[in-house]
Amino acid sequence: MTRRPRTVSGTAGPGLIGMRLVPTVLLADADPDARAMVRDALLEGTGPADLRTVESREELEDYLRQQGDHEDPRTSPSPALILIDLDLPGNEQLDAVRSVKSNTQLRHIPVVVLARGPEPAQTAAAYDAGANTVIPKPVTFLALVKLMKVFTAYWLDAAALPPERA
């Protein structure tokens, strides 16, 4: 399958305008070990992906609004896909998911909720908040690698994602 390329537009620096990039995956997870495991698992995956990470709901919102430390679109590119840990600080009522899905500029971005053995009520709440998918977090690295291969093959290669908005 052919990976759908992204292009840098607008305020990109010299030499970057029109340059093809791999899709950006934004991971919101407070656990540094979990972020490192996802990064390593993506490296083992089927194709390239640009992983960016944030540690809290507030940082996620700054990233998506390109504020604070995330003002520069070259270092904080628009994500093609957002992964949000169910236990993300500030996400008690799935506020991070609701925030993305209630924003007309962001709601087109698929949001995947990662949860440690989600209970049916948590799964239902995540879908009610607007999550596109809920995935149980694998407990081993090999299981995570397998999940990331299937996951990226679907979301970044097979699925027709909405076009990037300016």
Q: Are 80 and 24 in contact (CB under 8 A)?
A: yes
Q: Are 24 and 52 in contact (CB under 8 A)?
A: yes
Q: Which of 79, 77, 64 is nearest to 19 (CA)?
A: 77
Supply 108's token pair. 């087109």
pLDDT of the residue at 12: 42
Q: What's the CA angle centered on 51, arms 47 and 54, to 5 degrees?
A: 160
Instruction: Kindly list the distances between the CA atom of residue 41 and the CA atoms of 124, 141, 166, in Å, as whole numbers in the listed order.
Output: 27, 7, 30
pLDDT of the residue at 166: 53
Question: pTM of the entire structure?
Answer: 0.83
pLDDT of the residue at 2: 41
pLDDT of the residue at 43: 83
- Order of all β-strands in the sheet with 50-54: 50-54, 24-28, 81-85, 111-115, 133-136
Q: Are 156 and 3 in contact (CB under 8 A)?
A: yes
pLDDT of the residue at 158: 85
pLDDT of the residue at 14: 43
pLDDT of the residue at 46: 66
Q: Are 5 and 161 in contact (CB under 8 A)?
A: no
Q: For each of the chain's 166 residues, which pLDDT tens digit applies?
A: 444 433 333 334 444 444 446 789 999 999 999 999 888 888 877 677 889 999 999 999 999 999 999 999 888 999 999 999 999 998 888 999 999 999 999 999 999 999 988 889 999 999 999 999 999 988 888 888 888 888 888 888 888 877 765 5
